[in-house]
Structure 1
């Protein structure tokens, strides 16, 4: 069961969960960004949006996708999206921009700037990140 913060309207696991409490419109994250970048984000959003129990919220810097815990974070940058998702081991067949071990899991970062950067193997790993939790 989730709790919705009355100030920022973010869905959280519980009332005591800490979070950045600010109401942020998704459009403001993409203001001044290319149409291609927005289309790329939309493709990611459509891929994930219908999965069971996914809460999608915005912060001043990124879009957070949560299923029990955060499984995907998309940060719009000047010309790219920083796409972060988690795995239990290094990824095979996909080389991240950056990969850090965080809470016993790999936090894998990818820089994506066009639709073609979103490959089937990346979508496979994003789904596995969702299923980790």
Structure 2
């Protein structure tokens, strides 16, 4: 008997936004538009999250009731007031940003995401 800690399923990204505020959809669309220019990069949905993958998964977005939980990993804790939470997980740090509106998606936000993306290529 296999002990599985999770399972994956293919889901339409749009399904994850059903019943969520339009502002979250707009924010996700902007994140997708900017990060789609970073290659290699593919996007897929699982049961509750949207996973961005380069050579490995580098960004996980979970649409919640009124926010997007945006998470990336890095080997060190990055200091920034932008983070909702930073936690150590499996030899690296998970950095969580909470997004409620498009206005939060400024150059600093995308610079932080780029750190996670570049780390995924190592």
Paired residues of 1:94 and 1:122 also in contact (CA < 8 A): no
- 2:101 — aligned with what? 114
Q: TM-score, normalised by structure 1?
A: 0.79
Where do 5+ consecutive residues of structure 1 fail to align?
Answer: 1-18
Aligned length: 116
- Residue 58 to residue 66, structure 1, CA distance change in 2 (3 Å): same
Q: Give RMSD over aligned pairs.
A: 1.8
- The structure with the greater share of residues assigned to helix is 2
1:113 to partner: Cα distance? 0.6
4+ runs deviating over 6 angstroms = none
Asked which structure has the greater RCO (Cα within 8 Å, sep 6+), the reply is 2
**CA distance in 2 between partners of 1:46 and 1:20 (Å):** 28
Where do 5+ consecutive residues of structure 2 fail to align?
Answer: 1-5
Q: TM-score, normalised by structure 2?
A: 0.85
